[in-house]
Structure 1
Amino acid sequence: MKKIVIIGASHAGISCAEKLRRYGFDGRITLIDRIPGLPVQRPPLSKDFLKYKNVELHSFYLRQKEYYEREKIELVTGKDVVAINRESNSMIFEGDSEINYDVLILATGADAKIPDYVRKDISNIYVLRDNEDAVRLKEGALIANKAVIVGGGFIGLEVASSLRSIGLSVDLIEFAPRLLPRVSSQYISDYLQLVHQKEGVSIHLSQSIEEVIYSKFNKVEAVKLCSGKILRCDVLIYGIGVSPNIKLANDLGLSVADGVEVDSSYLAGKNIYAIGDVAYSSGEFNSRIESVFHAQFSATVAAASITNSPLPSQPVFWFWSDQYDLKLQIAGILPKPKKDEFLRGEVREGKKEGSFSVWNWYQNKLVCVEAVEDSQAYMVGKRLIEQNIPISPAIIKDRSVDLKEMLKNLL
């Protein structure tokens, strides 16, 4: 009987355990996570959990306690793995407990970045990656009036939205000349900038922090921008991306780049898999992909490979973000054009007032659809990309074309 150990009990780790059981694996499964308590969903931490005073973490459990008991999945939380012996297929975690494995799955995720210049003994500096971070931030925000957020990616924007909804004044700093510089089109960046400014967020683009100003009480009281401007704050939040948690992979001697290098089945070494945010694929996108959907997909592929089940086909990756009363849905990934290449985008108004979508082509191929309050455009675009169905910008631009009927005729 095989013994499988999964290190990391978030979306990827739990999805993998679930798929292993679904694919017929009846051996021992052990899930280990350093954070105490039942694992929670990550996306709501920057949204509903932060916005609503009376919402508790148990509202966002990924699975209830009974699930692990029913599926005979041993969940060990509040424990860090301190050593792994690859030769003996054994590991030791905190408390000197030892466990053996036949297959090891690294779902160790990624850690929020924080600059080296920031003092580590300051209580009102925050990141947001897991439920412990979220609880700290929520407690700090509830007694604060002013927030400075560093980073104009999804986390920064979602936190800005949540903090404005509970009455904090918010300054948001982004080093790049636009918001969401790595993941969205210029049109979406510009649109969200206007939305946040309308909601009262002060946005500082092409700026960085020159100095963090501390009070005599060992708290941040302000930051000084490279422009010389001083921004006062009660809480300072960094949302400047993540670094893959590769310590165990390094200890195991695995090949590591910006994450643990894996093949198409997410195999990283003999009987060792890496899934979720820590996995670096040298395939089509040649990168790590940070999303719940990729966590679940990589978990499914690894579980299928371990159980010799059919591997799922390559999907269209999707993402979403809730900010204020808006929902942004993205199907596909915007590539980074090479020199002398470019993306073409067409904006299409939706049926609902204020809704729209941005359709992006690269090398004459539809690669990404970004939809604001337009689920039909999102679903149709996702299907077209999934089926690799060619579609011209002129058709999308034509408002007389019904997207649903168009898709029906093309399939």
Structure 2
Amino acid sequence: MTLPPEQAEIRDLILASDGDDARITAAVAEIGTDRAAAVLVDELVSRADLTEITGLATTPVAFDIALEHDGRVVHRHVRAGGDAEHAPGPAADPAATVEGRLVDFVRAVFGPANALCDRAPRIRWHLLDDPTLSFSDTARLALTAGKRLLQGLSQQPVDLAELSLRTGSDKWGLHYYTPHYARHFEPLRDRPLTILELGIGGYANPAKGGGSLRIWKRLFRRAMIFGVDIYDKSPLREGRIHTVQGDQSDPDFLTSLAERIGPIDIVIDDGSHRCADVISAFHALYPHVVPGGLYVIEDLQTSYWPGYGGSAERLDDPATSMGFLKRLLDGLHHRECELPDGHVPDVAARTLVGAHFYHNLAFLEKADNAEPSLPSWIPRRPLSEAEMSAVAAQTATDEPA
């Protein structure tokens, strides 16, 4: 896997987060203590949604995050106001100081849900030391913001429909995909995943789109998220989200990308929706999906729309998205087919183990499709009357006296 340097540093922390102190310390040493602290605080701020707290724009509050490591304390200050910002150094007049060991923060922020930290973080409320401020609006805002910051230290329940609305994604509202995503993605939340989505949204505006990338970032707190779009979307990059400009219809580009960032755990095709592009992208990317991974295709309604290369008459045409997927289902059952000698099933037939279809949406499960067929003595064709009589006679002689 060859990731951009900043993403590689975050990935190293994620992979070390379920290890012991020595493993985490080695990862921190590799990227530097200050950089590790910046990554952790950036992640906490992104999970806190501080800009949604009414009143902070006019009454900002500050927090000091003090992380102890290797005999020193690294400070990052967070300013929650009209924007949520963080920078190196202690806050000048913080509402509170959050203290803890840096290795414990790595474990809490990026580790699996059941990760045990040696010590819980401590929070010292300076604001509450002043009786004139203890019951003020400033104190209320600080307590609310502080709670949200600390929630980022543990895995929280996520309502994908609500998150879709907040991020501007069309996965709920225009479509109703989020219940299906919740069903298939929830069991994977604790894994250090690599997720690739085709199609970022926002068309030619470089600052628009990225809603679903932010959904996956929130749902999968240990995942690296990659988005591909034909337009430049580099302004949408943040923390664990990386955007790549490229054309979904170019299989060489997709193959090269998969080789750089893979193996891939989840692919989501929300790109052009043209049938030819859907099929071409599958051939390029599916081989790079890990066993146990998922390949998701959205907006399959275009399989029936001529403007996208589809057809409502040629329902089994393999040049349409649904016709192609129907062929994949035949491959799933290839062991039940009488194939010519020397026939070798393709990679999809050998590894597709499950397919789930919903309105305009498909989830394909990849693993080892090695389940054998039924025993050969079970007839594959209708028996003639003479053969039926022979079977009955043989059964009668096999019965005990």
Q: TM-score, normalised by structure 1?
A: 0.23
Higher RCO structure (Cα 8 Å, ≥6 apart): 1
Tell me which structure has the larger Cα radius of gyration: 2
Q: TM-score, normalised by structure 2?
A: 0.24
Q: Between Structure 1 and Structure 2, which shows a larger proportion of helix residues?
A: 2
Q: Between Structure 1 and Structure 2, which shows a larger proportion of strand residues?
A: 1
